[in-house]
């Protein structure tokens, strides 16, 4: 495979797409120069170049919302960089999780559904609304485990005897209850995905 070098533009910059390592969600688009990339590789935290201030920018240095870089990838022409990061907090200066929170945001893309559900579960765990089924499960790990087992049996039966639509619905029930079980143990889907990633390696 040919080696691709970074193709900086006339201003010495390259666009950087910043993506959440665990969820795959795009957090922001920024720019970097050679110095920013060098500092990123040195520190393991994302550094960028501020075009408005014309200076090096350590993402999160002021707010504390630093972004630990897990991988840097180049596109095929070398003129765009992808930074896969673990954010310590919101990516946007407005306090939003992602800078892409304007426009057509009502419909979640498929890859956004489970991360969004995990955020809802974390909110239920923190706020503990009265009468919440999720809170009941979070407070009773044994019940959460029983529900995972029950839903797994139902999806297995649906796979044997029912329509594809029923399989989809029962599988969704399994995923919901499994995520609640994980949340009750202070685990997230990313922890499970890490195990699968290591097994694949």
The residue-averaged pLDDT of 177-191 equals 96
Q: Name the pLDDT band for 128 (thresholds 50, 70, 90).
A: very high
Inform me whether the pLDDT recorded for 11 exceeds 50: yes
Per-residue pLDDT at 4: 73
Average pLDDT rounded to a whole number, residues 117-143: 97
Average pLDDT over residues 72-82: 95
Q: Is the pLDDT of residue 155 over 60?
A: yes
What is the rounded average pLDDT of the residues 136-165?
Answer: 97
| pLDDT value of position 179 | 98
pLDDT at 123 over 90: yes
Q: What is the mean pLDDT of residues 61-90?
A: 95
pLDDT at 165 over 80: yes
| CA distance linking residue 198 with residue 201, whole number of Å | 5
Q: What is the pLDDT of residue 28?
A: 96
**Residues in CB range of 124: below 8 A, 6 or more apart:** 132, 134, 135, 138
pLDDT at 2: 54
- For residue 105, what pLDDT band results from cuts at 50, 70 and 90? confident
Reduced to 3 states (helix: H, G, I; strand: E, B; else coil), residue 81 is strand
**Would you state the pLDDT for residue 106?**
87
Residue 200 or residue 151, greater confidence: 151
**Which domains does the chain possess?**
13-87 (3.10.20.810), 110-199 (1.10.287.1080)
Q: Answer yes or no: is pLDDT of 3 > 70.
A: no
Residue 39 has pLDDT above 80, yes or no: yes
* DSSP class per residue in 95-151: S-SSS--SSS-SSPPHHHHHHHHHHHHHHHHHH--TT-HHHHHHH-HHHHHHHHHHH
| More confident of the two residues 2 and 42 | 42
Condensed to tens digits (0 to 9), the pLDDT of residues 82-94 reads 999 999 999 998 9
Q: State yes or no: pLDDT of 1 exceeds 50.
A: no
């Amino acid at each position: 495979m040919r080696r691709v070098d970074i193709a900086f533009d006339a201003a010495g910059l390259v666009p950087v797409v910043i993506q959440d390592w665990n969820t795959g969600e795009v957090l922001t688009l920024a720019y970097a120069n050679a110095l920013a990339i060098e500092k990123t590789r040195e520190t393991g935290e994302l550094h960028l170049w501020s075009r408005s201030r014309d200076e090096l920018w350590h993402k999160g240095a002021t707010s504390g919302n630093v972004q630990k870089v897990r991988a840097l990838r180049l596109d095929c022409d070398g003129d765009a960089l992808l930074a896969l990061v673990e954010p310590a907090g919101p990516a946007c200066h407005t306090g939003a999780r992602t800078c892409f929170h304007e426009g057509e945001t009502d419909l979640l893309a498929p890859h956004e559904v489970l991360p969004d559900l995990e955020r809802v579960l974390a909110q239920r765990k923190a706020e503990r609304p009265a009468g919440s089924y999720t809170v009941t499960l979070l407070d009773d790990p044994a019940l959460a485990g029983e529900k995972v087992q029950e839903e797994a049996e139902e999806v297995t039966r649906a796979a044997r005897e029912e329509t594809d639509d029923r399989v989809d619905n029962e599988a969704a029930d399994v995923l919901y209850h499994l995520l609640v079980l994980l949340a009750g143990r202070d685990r997230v889907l990313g922890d499970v995905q890490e195990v699968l990633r290591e097994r694949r390696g």
